[in-house]
Amino acid sequence: MNNKVKKILTAEKEFSVRFSEVDSMNIVWHGSYALYFEDAREAFGKKFGLEYLYMFDKGFYAPLVELHFEYKRPLIYRDIGKVEITLRDTEAAKIIFDYKIFSVPSGELIATGHSVQVFLDKDYNLVWTIPDFFLEWKKMNGLI
């Protein structure tokens, strides 16, 4: 029986709601949440050495193929939010992240979601097996 506790990789990114991110009702437009998730992926990549250019330098693209949101409460102009991003480890040739957005002052949960990225080679062919560089990255970060 394997009693090893699985390592959890997580990062966070704080943000201020800008005027350009709200709609005519003064609440954050739903499309802005994709940008908050993107900022969180960049923060994760910087923290754990999985930046987009690193993957590109290894010969791969990692496009999004799925992006899901669940809205709990709106943010409004000038609110301060925080995105928490957690890698959902999988044996598939994918990168899956889970997200939670909180209001910084109140701690209220604002939204949740997840994203799925796949690997493409430089000729834009779908890669069905986990690339060697990603296996090495997982080893370096205690996932394997």
Q: Which residue has the tokens 């994918």?
A: 94
Q: Are 39 and 17 in contact (CB under 8 A)?
A: no
User: Which percentage of the chain shows pLDDT scores above 70?
Assistant: 97
Reported as type and span, the H/E element at residue 109 is: strand 109-118
* Strand ranges in 51-108 using DSSP code E only, listed in sequence order: 60-61, 64-71, 80-88, 94-103
Q: Positive or negative CA dihedral for 74, 26, 18, 96?
A: positive
Give me the pLDDT at residue 6, please: 76
Q: Which domains does the chain carry?
A: 10-140 (3.10.129.10)
Instruction: Give me 72's structure tokens.
Output: 């709990």
Give the pTM: 0.92
Alpha helices in the chain (DSSP H): 32-48, 52-57, 132-140
Cα 19 vs. chain centroid, distance in angstroms?
Answer: 23
Is the CB of residue 50 less than 8 Å from the CB of residue 86?
no
Q: What is the mean pLDDT of the chain?
A: 95
Query: What integer is the mean pLDDT of 97-118?
Result: 97
